Chain A
Amino acid sequence: EAGVAQSPRYKIIEKRQSVAFWCNPISGHATLYWYQQILGQGPKLLIQFQNNGVVDDSQLPKDRFSAERLKGVDSTLKIQPAKLEDSAVYLCASSLAGTGAYEQYFGPGTRLTVT
């Protein structure tokens, strides 16, 4: 079974530029999550999708971050404009719906450096 795919793996941008990350979840997983992991900290949930719909985006800085999940499969997370404090690893995870949603499977992440 293929795991969660993410691209790019690394990205370096200057502050005020924009950036986009892509995620392809495990086939059949209805729930998709985006996390931000700052160096030395645990992952923090940014947004959670159930199929096409947003379940929780309470910790997403909506003035600069946006995310979409078209057709209930792939998802993109965008930052515009980026700030220095956005430097982090952005992790995508997916899970089944219902009680299977407890087990989340993570991708390798995209390491973003904002200079």
Chain B
Amino acid sequence: EAQVTQNPRYLITVTGKKLTVTCSQNMNHEYMSWYRQDPGLGLRQIYYSMNVEVTDKGDVPEGYKVSRKEKRNFPLILESPSPNQTSLYFCASSFSGVRTYEQYFGPGTRLTVT
């Protein structure tokens, strides 16, 4: 089954404790992206990757890191989480170029930072 998987689905952590949210896709997509979704603010892009070893900032990159060492994986790293990073996070993937209009989203990771 073609899908984007994220782990963990739910995470409660404390301020400053480094964490990683994994994302993996099995559709051979070049493009991968991370979004956060907050009430009243909608979906906002954090980082994206056009292909292996190619990443770039989205609209809200502060406090986040990413890496793309393999085509299928795109982990999101929070080196020192803060309460304002409490949010619902989505990973997405698609073919590159104009076909980024058709993005496949993972099930989401709900993160709470206390």
The reply to whether chain A is a binding partner of chain B is no
